Amino acid sequence: MQLVTRLIALSRAMQLRRQFRGIEKVLVDLQPNARRQLAAIAMREFQNASKSEFPHLYATPPDHKYHPWGTGTEIGLERMRSDSLQVRLRGVALWLTVAYHETKDSQFPEQQEMHRQVMRAMRALKDSIPAAELNNWFAAANEAQAA
C-alpha cells in the first residue's frame, strides 16, 4: 500500500510541477500593477480557503470530495488561459492557493519541493507590494475578520 501511495504522490507532484511552469510564465510576464492586483486576489483566496473545512479541496465541487486531490488547480489553469486579465489573475491566485494547501504538510519530498516553489512565488508577489500598502491590506483583512 505504501508503494501505491508513494506512486500517487509522485505522479501528483509531477503534474503540479508541469502546471507550475505555466504559472511561472504568467508571473514573469505580469506588469507591476497586475502583480499587485494578483497579490490582493491571492490574499483573498487564501483567506477564503482557510475558512473552508478542507482547504486543499477549495473550489472543488462537492461530488469530488473523496478524490485523492481536488480540481482547484485545474480550474485555476483553465481560468489562467482566459483572454481577460482579471479572470487570468483569479486563476493564478486559485492555483497558488490550492497548490499551497495541497502540498503544505506533505511527507513526500517531491511535494515538499513543490510547496517551496509555491512559497517562493508567493514571496515574490508579496515583495512586489510596497510595505505601507501591504500593512493597509493586513489591517483591512483583520477588520473584516473581526466584523
SS (HEC) of 27-95: HHHCCHHHHHHHHHHHHHHHHHHHHCCCHHHCCCCHHHCCCCCCCHHHHHHHHHCCCCHHHHHHHHHHH
Share of the chain above pLDDT 90, in %: 51
pLDDT greater than 90 at residue 62: no
Q: Is the Cβ–Cβ distance between 122 and 103 less than 8 Å?
A: no
pLDDT at 139 over 80: no
Maximum C-alpha span of the chain:
51
Determine the structural domain holding residue 79 and report its residue range: 2-146
Q: Residue 147 carries which DSSP code? A: -
pLDDT band per the 50, 70, 90 thresholds, residue 7 = confident
Q: Are 124 and 106 in contact (CB under 8 A)?
A: no
Query: Residue 68: pLDDT band by 50, 70, 90 thresholds?
Result: confident
d(CA 79, CA 109): 29
Query: Residue 35 — very low, low, confident or very high, per pLDDT cuts 50/70/90?
Result: very high
Share of the chain above pLDDT 70, in %: 88
For the entire predicted model, the pTM comes to 0.85
Residue 56 in contact with residue 69, Cβ under 8 Å? yes
The number of distinct structural domains making up the chain is 1
Return the axis-axis angle of helices 32-51 and 109-127, rounded to nearest 10°: 130
At 80-107, the pLDDT tens digits run 999 999 999 999 999 999 999 999 988 9
